[in-house]
Structure 1
């Protein structure tokens, strides 16, 4: 772990925890991992990664004012019920700092043991955006006939590949650009569809992270509209037509027509990787 910081949700301020004034040392408490489960007869059931408590040792060197500053930011998030975020080399997890116990107090050094509630049980990092271009940005899709015909030809459906480098299915963020009516995209055997019109200059962002699923349309002037009900859900997870279906592991063929799409696959780990 080369860098570690806490981002306050209430103010947007970032607390660097790798010096020069505040040190989290090896932050070993944040590195642990734990699955929740129920034991059965030669089996596990109810397997999930849930919230857990962890300890974090902080050392403040010649900066008592930063002890006050960090306390206020930690407490602001707890009081407001808006979790902050730890960032370790770009991997993030939501958390509250709910307790601080002084360990050492000298004119030079103040040491505290913090109790941290890690809400997600995972660390998450966004992968690189994968672009699937609109027809307007992909010339040569259709044949250029030397004369007109009295009818239109069906728009070409392109095959491309979406990649998820993790060994299990992962959440995503998908941005669908207008103009398009009732867009749908097929990936890994699932159809991602919106029952709505997206005007020119607007786009819809679908976020599938558990506990934070959203579908929002952003207009050309920047206005945002909640269009959560426009996402097609079919029979739910693994039903073949679920707007929040996780992206399967490996490479998957993508089929779509006409509109442009940006896809970001999130990577999730039980603890931040030892090497990035």
Structure 2
């Protein structure tokens, strides 16, 4: 990995771990991966990626004050129960640093072995934002008749593609821009639908990451409202109308009407990618 840092949840400060003062060497303790499972007769059940413990060697070069600084930040997150984040080349995972043991101490170098709890069992990285424009930003979507009719025509349902580059279904962040009345969109065999009005200038953000699922509306003045109950859940996962349904792999034709959408697919890996 080319870059590695720890972001303290309690203060927002970032601890760089690739030098020049603090080094994590090759950080091999963060490289491993492990699945939890139960053995059956020629089978595995209960397969999941859960929290695991790891070790990380840190070397401080001529900066004893930074040993104190990092300790305070690590301890602040543990004491507050707010996990910090390790960031490896843009791949992130939540973690606690729960123990530090001195490995060697000299006038110029202090080495410590850290014990870490990696909470998620996975590393995540957001993909590129995929934009699906509103009708107002796409002139000419509908037929331009040479004379008026006593009724309005429904807006055209457009076909576009939602892309997930990973080989398995992935979580997402979706932003729906108002104005929109009971907006819905369909792709990958699932309907993502809301029972609500989104005023002009407002938008609704859906985050589908397991354990951190949210649906929040942001008003034009910046005020936020929890609208978690407005997303339809149908019969749940794989039921055909589940607001948090993961994005299937590959390209998926999407249909929607009128409103604008931004979609970000989160890529998940068992360990930081080697080929960055």
Q: TM-score, normalised by structure 1?
A: 1.00
Distance in 2 between residues matched to 1:80 and 1:221, nearest whole Å: 31
Distance in 2 between residues matched to 1:255 and 1:93, nearest whole Å: 33
Distance in 1 between residues matched to 2:174 and 2:31, nearest whole Å: 30
1:155 alignment partner in structure 2: 155
Task: Name structure 1 gaps, 5 residues minimum.
Answer: none
Distance in 2 between residues matched to 1:169 and 1:154, nearest whole Å: 33
1:68 alignment partner in structure 2: 68
The answer to whether 1:261 aligns with 2:258 is no
1:107 alignment partner in structure 2: 107
Distance in 2 between residues matched to 1:231 and 1:239, nearest whole Å: 14
SS in 2 for 1:240: coil
Q: How many residues align?
A: 276
Residue 152 of structure 1, CA deviation: 1.2
2:217 alignment partner in structure 1: 217
Residue 53 of structure 1, CA deviation: 0.1
SS in 1 for 2:128: coil
Distance in 2 between residues matched to 1:33 and 1:153, nearest whole Å: 55
Instruction: Give every structure 1 segment of 4 or more consecutive aligned residues whose post-TM-superposition deviation is greater than 4 Å.
Output: none
Q: TM-score, normalised by structure 2?
A: 1.00
Distance in 1 between residues matched to 2:187 and 2:21, nearest whole Å: 48
The aligned runs of 1:57-136 (5 Å cut-off) are: 57-136=57-136
Residue 164 of structure 1, CA deviation: 0.2
2:191 alignment partner in structure 1: 191
Task: Name structure 2 gaps, 5 residues minimum.
Answer: none
Distance in 2 between residues matched to 1:87 and 1:154, nearest whole Å: 47
SS in 2 for 1:128: strand
Residue 161 of structure 1, CA deviation: 0.2
C-alpha distance after superposition, 1:231-271 (max 9, x if no partner): 10000000000000000000000000000000000000000
